[in-house]
Amino acid sequence: MKTVHCASYDILRRHGLTTIFGNPGSNELPFLKDFPADFRYILGLHEGAVVGMADGFALASGQPAFVNLHAAAGTGNGMGALTNAWYSHSPLVISAGQQVRSMIGVEAMLANVEAPQLPKPLVKWSAEPACAQDVPRALSQAIHMANLAPKAPVYLSIPYDDWAQPAPAGVEHLAARNVASAGLPSPAQLGELAGRLSRARNPVLVLGPDVDGARANPLAVQLAEKLRMPAWIAPSASRCPFPTRHPCFRGVLPAAIAGISQRLAGHDLILVVGAPVFRYHQFAPGDYLPAGAELVHITCDPGEAARAPMGDALVGDIFLTLEAMVESVRTSARPMPEALPRPAPRADEAGPLHPETVFDVIDELAPDDAIFVKESTSTVTAFWQRVQMREPGSYFFPAAGGLGFGLPAAVGVQLAQPQRRVIGIIGDGSANYGITALWTAAQYRIPAVFIILKNGTYGALRWFAGVLDVPDAPGLDVPGLDFCQLGRGYGVRSVQAADAASLRAELARALAGDEPVLIEVPTLTIEP
């Protein structure tokens, strides 16, 4: 007799979900019984780190990642990390153990009351199967829902007595299914868009994370070159969709209404691809568009298209649409934009390093295809100015701004991309939210390099305190942290680099090795 348990593992195996990220409780043990030899279980010590690792794994692989959480409490612990996964279009299939069916109504210990409601609105779909025989079908639906555009987390609550029940007749068809989307705009739509671009006097390209998610970066380069367009990265950038030393590259737009209009002034057509219009942050009101400008928005997310406050939108597959646009537009006679000048090196004196110096050392030593997982919010601008990113999938940043992403995501990204080197650049304030991920890195010997920028304060909040005129806010400093001690306690080789020479030596040694390494770097505080 095939059980629900056996049928469900067949479905997971068929879709390549053989890595399970979790922290098990009693409700989850029946699912883990007879754990298949061709699966691997990645244990995290806190569900926030579990979801963060799975998020990094899904983003870096481009495929769904499977998460197993413990009932309501474990789901709650993972909700902060889930905000980042939601806004980054990360295809997480999240399962949570539920009490046995006969005990849910009396709210026995570990009953997840109204389980499908708990993770909303941070999931695309949420369910608890009506009976045990519907578990395999619901799991299949969850995988397809997570992976269809726009990709997003989904949630499935499963009573633990369901796993031993007999599977329904015909369950074998579920494992054989393929579900794919076809999102190419019509010839008329493509022709209209190509015409607008060709007629534009001074068009500009704004690229978002879904371009990198679709691995359409080379197509964005071809389109920018063909139309001689400057290329900006959309504000609140969580990925890098365009090579940062290309002549067309112009940097990251500010996350403010007025700031965006100022940067794009003089352009008559703004083409936004793979990003919301726009992910604002600080409140700086103004005109949504510069005078005389029109905006066209290409997105895979109908919600992003519908809620935008301005412009025309086209919902479709990012890769296919860019590919068609490159073929449709005529090469412009405009001159190619000139590359931005590179910033001069900082002259460091004795004491904490300038973050700019840290980034110059990283840029010098990192492999060409290095992947940077960054969660130091006060150093974003300096990083983009100084670190070269060439390849698709080279940069990940918390898409919702929620702290705790960096350390776990670096572990997950390295698991998904073992052939590339992952360098996590984490602020000391951020690091504590996901510090337990160091244990996972040590136990599974995941050779990510973690660089902790230690300035003793929440640097971005320091800046915001000035912007919002709150100079006396408490709780902005985090003194007394020793990340070398913390790292060693979790089993990670940990060193301090107090000057550029020692940072260069320690980073080179870490990149030459095959184990996780933490490098603590005392730094000055700068503005984002």
> Is residue 144 a part of any domain in this protein?
yes
Identified catalytic residue from 47, 225, 391, 506: 47
> Is residue 49 a part of any domain in this protein?
yes
> Is residue 453 a part of any domain in this protein?
yes
Residues 6+ apart with CB under 8 A from 217: 211, 241, 242, 243, 391, 392
Q: What is the separation, in whole angstroms, between the first and last Cα of the chain?
A: 60
Q: What is the pLDDT of residue 463?
A: 64
Identified catalytic residue from 281, 311, 332, 515: 281
> Is residue 348 a part of any domain in this protein?
no
Give per-residue pLDDT as tens, 233-286.
999 999 999 999 999 999 999 999 999 999 999 999 999 999 999 999 988 899
| Same domain (yes/no): 387, 428 | yes
Phi, psi of 102, rounded to the nearest 5 degrees: -70, -10
Phi, psi of 291, rounded to the nearest 5 degrees: -55, 135
Q: Is 39 exposed, middle or buried (0-12, 13-18, 19+ CB in 10 A)?
A: middle
The whole-angstrom separation of Cα 92 and Cα 133 is 23
The whole-angstrom separation of Cα 278 and Cα 284 is 13
Q: In terms of Cα–Cα distance, which of 429, 207, 379 is closest to 387?
A: 379
> Is residue 180 a part of any domain in this protein?
no
| Same domain (yes/no): 266, 288 | yes
| Same domain (yes/no): 319, 425 | no
> Is residue 108 a part of any domain in this protein?
yes
CB burial string 399-424: b at 16+ within 10 A, e below: bbbbbbbbbbbbbbbbbbbeebbbbb
Find out whether 521 and 353 touch, Cβ atoms under 8 Å.
yes
Of 175, 196, 230, which one is at a domain's C-terminal end?
175
CATH code where residue 398 lies: 3.40.50.970
Cα angle for residues 468, 471, 476 (degrees, 5° grid) = 95
Find out whether 456 and 422 touch, Cβ atoms under 8 Å.
no
Q: Total domain count for the chain?
A: 3
Find out whether 455 and 352 touch, Cβ atoms under 8 Å.
yes
Of 311, 328, 345, which one is at a domain's C-terminal end?
328
Identified catalytic residue from 16, 26, 107, 364: 26
Q: What is the pLDDT of residue 401?
A: 86
Torsion of CA 383, 397, 237, 380, to 10 degrees: -30
User: What would the two tokens of residue 63 be?
Assistant: 């495929």
| Same domain (yes/no): 55, 158 | yes
| Same domain (yes/no): 162, 28 | yes
| Same domain (yes/no): 110, 151 | yes
| Same domain (yes/no): 10, 121 | yes
Q: What is the pLDDT of residue 471?
A: 79
The whole-angstrom separation of Cα 198 and Cα 120 is 43
| Same domain (yes/no): 304, 364 | no
CATH code where residue 272 lies: 3.40.50.1220
Q: Is 341 exposed, middle or buried (0-12, 13-18, 19+ CB in 10 A)?
A: exposed
Q: What is the pLDDT of residue 465?
A: 66
The whole-angstrom separation of Cα 115 and Cα 159 is 11
| Same domain (yes/no): 60, 96 | yes
Residue-number span of the structural domain to which 460 is assigned: 355-522
The whole-angstrom separation of Cα 236 and Cα 214 is 18
User: What would the two tokens of residue 227 be?
Assistant: 């139309």
Q: Is the peptide bond before 396 cis (omega within 30 degrees of 0)?
A: no
SS3 119: coil
Residue 70 is a catalytic residue: yes
Residues 6+ apart with CB under 8 A from 327: none
Residue 28 is a catalytic residue: yes
Consecutive 10-residue averages of pLDDT for the chain (528 residues): 96 98 97 98 98 98 97 96 97 97 94 96 98 98 97 98 96 93 91 94 98 98 98 97 98 96 97 96 91 97 96 96 95 94 85 94 98 94 96 97 94 98 96 97 98 84 70 79 97 97 97 98 88
Q: In terms of Cα–Cα distance, which of 411, 406, 420 is closest to 366?
A: 420
Residues 6+ apart with CB under 8 A from 264: 204, 206, 232, 253, 270, 289, 290, 293
User: What would the two tokens of residue 62 be?
Assistant: 């481009």
Find out whether 233 and 220 touch, Cβ atoms under 8 Å.
no
| Same domain (yes/no): 191, 171 | no
Residue with tokens 């646009």: 325
> Is residue 118 a part of any domain in this protein?
yes
> Is residue 527 a part of any domain in this protein?
no
| Same domain (yes/no): 130, 227 | no
Residue with tokens 């090469």: 331
Identified catalytic residue from 44, 316, 401, 402: 401
Q: What is the DSSP string of 193-261?
A: HHHHHHH-SSEEEEE-HHHHHTT-HHHHHHHHHHHT--EEEPSS-SB--S-TTSTTEEEE--SSHHHHH
Give per-residue pLDDT as tens, 40-67.
999 999 999 999 999 999 999 999 999 9
Q: What is the pLDDT of residue 257?
A: 96
| Same domain (yes/no): 323, 227 | yes
> Within the chain, how many helices (H) and strands (E) appear?
21, 18
Q: In terms of Cα–Cα distance, which of 150, 414, 152 is closest to 298?
A: 150
Find out whether 372 and 394 touch, Cβ atoms under 8 Å.
yes
Identified catalytic residue from 15, 28, 424, 506: 28
Residue 47 is a catalytic residue: yes
Find out whether 405 and 52 touch, Cβ atoms under 8 Å.
yes
Q: What is the DSSP string of 379-434?
A: GHHHHHHH----STT-EE--TT--TT-HHHHHHHHHHH-TTS-EEEEEEHHHHGGG
Of 266, 293, 328, which one is at a domain's C-terminal end?
328
Identified catalytic residue from 5, 15, 46, 70: 70
Q: Say how many C-beta atoms besides its own lie within 10 A of residue 309's C-beta.
A: 10
The whole-angstrom separation of Cα 449 and Cα 89 is 25
